[in-house]
């Protein structure tokens, strides 16, 4: 099986790959999400793999298959923040779907189906929801394997294939399959590259972060935002290994738990838009003024930019006041974490955004009744009401009325108010719809009734009153 001499099967692609012009890593994403799907990832902590490839140290670089694969895992570990791949060895044998182990094995088939002759190795990944739960790496036992550095030979270097397959296990996909030209171990074909490239590392760190806490983890260490001459900024960062401070508010009404902070001083008055598009997790965003984390004044906050299509990146807009310090917190919904992108845009010369002075109020209505939601916004020239995230056709005034409410109207209502400077969303108002009251019930019975039951308390009471009346009348 191994170390046999077979015809040359791998293409040497040295010199092919162009210099890196841009990051181009790609991810295996949650296909349930039709909006902006996020990478499928392991929960923070460790993922244990059991290596069952063989312990005989007779390979070209002096390793065994087991230790060669272990070294590949360690190469990834040095670059990962909130996840580590832990390794153990076991005797050679098949992978089992019946256990919960993540196994690395030589195999001739998967679930009884033979390897395609062109396929060197595959990674099978189980996921539940948006989390990875288990993975096996199967190496085609019909191929000839070795372990070595440098240009490819007729035998396949198990270590670089393991680096590649572990990248799939972590959640990385093929940049070249996404139409990108970049030097990466994650490209779909084996090359003379025998270690992780910058693109591979950056890609993995965008899911699991780099080692250590972010420098802007705490409020007092908020990173300063400096805008470009066109008053924009695109900032990168991570909230992996970040924490939530005592007294810190919930951002966008979610407890979160891994917040990082930025600070910006408005040089002039004008509308500001901040969004987290391009981040690799379900974000929340809050903007505040104040001087201490436990006594902040909320200016704006947001969880999801859009409910339909579902965009889990957050976005806020607000009117900045000249000279004011604004603190921007980025957290993960339910403490989700990964790499983030913060896009900042300021318009010191344009008109100000509308200002909502009166928010729509939640209501409870009985079926068949009517309800109105209203907003008051100074400077607004347009309104668009939404129901559960989707626009309501024709609902473009400051008040939205539903004249005959049905159960289907129950849900969340918001209004987007806009003018030439941009738009902002109101708070959410919830409509609760109650069923109409049940028809009047028959008078309650407490005993009596037909069938020889005992006389009721009321019967005895009435009888006593009657007796008392007769007694009084008879005395007269």
Partner 1 sequence: MHARRYLLTGLALGLSLLPRLPATTVDAPDIDSLINQSDYVVRAVVKSATAEWREHAGQRYIGTRVELEIREVVKGAPPSPLVLDLIGGRIGEDELAIQGMPKFHVGDENVLFVHGEKKQMLPLVAMMHGVYPILRDASSGEAYVLRSNGLPLYSAQDVSLPMNRLSAVKQQNPSARPLTAGAFIRQIRDRVAIVQPATREK
Q: Which residues bind partner 1 (CB under 8 A)?
A: 9-11, 13, 16-17, 26, 28, 31-32, 96-98, 109-129, 161, 164-165, 168, 173-182, 187-190
Count of CB atoms situated within 10 Å of the CB of 189: 12
- Close Cβ partners of 445 (under 8 Å, ≥ 6 residues apart): none
C-alpha distances out from residue 408 to 113, 432, 435, Å: 49, 10, 12
Return the number of the residue (2 or 164) whose C-beta is nearest partner 1: 164
Return the number of the residue (40 or 83) whose C-beta is nearest partner 1: 40
> Please, what is the minimum distance in Å from the beta carbon of residue 49 to partner 1?
16
Return the number of the residue (118 or 226) whose C-beta is nearest partner 1: 118
> Please, what is the minimum distance in Å from the beta carbon of residue 276 to partner 1?
23
> Please, what is the minimum distance in Å from the beta carbon of residue 60 to partner 1?
19
Return the number of the residue (124 or 412) whose C-beta is nearest partner 1: 124
Alpha carbon distance 361, 372 (integer Å): 9
> Please, what is the minimum distance in Å from the beta carbon of residue 42 to partner 1?
14
Return the number of the residue (163 or 296) whose C-beta is nearest partner 1: 163
Tokens of 172: 């990385």
> Please, what is the minimum distance in Å from the beta carbon of residue 258 to partner 1?
24
DSSP three-state, residue 457: helix
Return the number of the residue (178 or 255) whose C-beta is nearest partner 1: 178
Return the number of the residue (119 or 367) whose C-beta is nearest partner 1: 119
**Angle, alpha carbons 464-467-470 (nearest 5°):** 150
Residues in a beta bridge with 18: none
> Please, what is the minimum distance in Å from the beta carbon of residue 15 to partner 1?
11
Radius of gyration of the chain (CA): 33
Return the number of the residue (161 or 405) whose C-beta is nearest partner 1: 161
> Please, what is the minimum distance in Å from the beta carbon of residue 380 to partner 1?
35
**Looking at beta carbons, which pairs linking 295-303 to residues 24 or more positions away fall under 8 Å?**
295/247, 296/249, 296/327, 298/249, 299/326, 300/424, 301/251, 301/252, 301/253, 302/252, 302/425, 303/252, 303/253, 303/254, 303/333
H or E segment at 275?
Answer: strand 270-275
Answer yes or no: are the C-beta atoms of 412 and 373 closer than 8 Å: no
Residues in a beta bridge with 156: 145
- What are the backbone angles phi and psi of residue 360, rounded to the nearest 5°? -65, 145
Return the number of the residue (5 or 98) whose C-beta is nearest partner 1: 98
Tokens of 288: 């505040």
> Please, what is the minimum distance in Å from the beta carbon of residue 152 to partner 1?
11
Return the number of the residue (131 or 427) whose C-beta is nearest partner 1: 131
Q: If we measure between CA atoms, which residue out of 452, 451, 453, 374 comes closest to residue 414? A: 374
Residue whose tokens read 């069952």: 52
Q: Which residues of 268-297 are buried (b: 16+ CB within 10 A; e: fewer)?
A: eebbbbbbbeebbbbbbbbbbebeebeebe
Answer yes or no: are the C-beta atoms of 332 and 400 closer than 8 Å: no
> Please, what is the minimum distance in Å from the beta carbon of residue 365 to partner 1?
35
323 preceded by cis ω (within 30°)? no
Return the number of the residue (162 or 347) whose C-beta is nearest partner 1: 162
Residue whose tokens read 């001739």: 108
> Please, what is the minimum distance in Å from the beta carbon of residue 282 to partner 1?
16
> Please, what is the minimum distance in Å from the beta carbon of residue 41 to partner 1?
14
């Amino acid at each position: 099986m191994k170390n046999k001499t077979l015809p040359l099967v791998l293409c040497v692609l040295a010199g092919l790959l162009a210099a890196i012009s841009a990051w181009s890593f790609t991810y295996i994403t949650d296909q349930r999400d039709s909006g902006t799907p996020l990478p499928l990832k392991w929960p923070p902590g460790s993922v244990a793999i059991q290596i069952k490839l063989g312990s005989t140290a007779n390979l070209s670089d002096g390793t065994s298959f087991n230790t060669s694969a272990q070294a590949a895992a360690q190469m990834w570990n040095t670059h990962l923040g909130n996840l580590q791949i832990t390794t153990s060895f076991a005797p050679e044998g098949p992978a089992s779907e019946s256990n919960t182990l993540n196994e690395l094995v030589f195999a001739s088939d998967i679930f009884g189906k033979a390897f395609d002759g062109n396929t060197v190795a595959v990674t099978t990944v189980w996921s539940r929801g948006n989390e990875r739960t288990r993975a096996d790496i199967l190496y085609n036992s019909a191929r000839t394997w070795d372990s070595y550095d440098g240009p490819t030979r007729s035998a396949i270097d198990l270590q670089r294939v393991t680096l590649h397959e572990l990248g799939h296990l972590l959640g990385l996909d093929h940049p070249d399959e996404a139409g990108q030209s970049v030097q990466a171990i994650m490209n779909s074909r084996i090359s003379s590259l025998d270690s992780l490239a910058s693109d591979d590392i950056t890609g993995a760190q965008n899911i699991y972060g780099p080692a250590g806490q972010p420098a802007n983890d705490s409020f007092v260490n908020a990173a300063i935002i400096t805008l470009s001459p066109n008053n924009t900024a695109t900032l990168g960062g991570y909230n992996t290994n970040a924490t939530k401070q005592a007294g810190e508010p919930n951002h966008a009404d979610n407890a979160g738990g891994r917040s990082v902070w930025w600070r910006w001083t408005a040089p002039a008055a004008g509308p500001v838009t901040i969004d987290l598009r391009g981040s690799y997790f379900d974000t929340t965003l809050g903007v505040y003024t104040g001087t201490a984390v436990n006594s902040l004044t909320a200016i704006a906050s947001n969880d999801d930019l859009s409910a339909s299509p579902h965009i889990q990146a957050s976005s806020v807009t607000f009117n900045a006041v000249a000279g004011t310090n604004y603190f921007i917190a980025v957290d993960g919904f339910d403490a989700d974490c990964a790499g983030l992108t913060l896009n900042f845009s300021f318009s010191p010369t344009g008109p100000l955004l509308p200002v909502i002075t009166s928010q729509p109020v939640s209501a409870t209505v009985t079926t068949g009744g009517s309800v109105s939601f209203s907003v008051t916004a100074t400077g607004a020239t347009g309104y668009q009401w939404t129901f559960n995230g989707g626009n309501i056709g024709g609902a473009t005034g400051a008040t939205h009325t539903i004249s005959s409410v049905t159960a289907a109207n129950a849900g969340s209502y918001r209004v987007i108010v806009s003018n030439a400077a941009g738009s902002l969303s109101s708070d959410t108002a919830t409509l609760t719809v109650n069923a109409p009251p049940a028809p009047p019930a028959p008078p309650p019975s407490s005993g009596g009734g037909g069938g020889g039951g005992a006389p009721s308390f009321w019967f005895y009471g009435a009888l006593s009153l009657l007796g008392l009346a007769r007694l009084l009348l008879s005395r007269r």
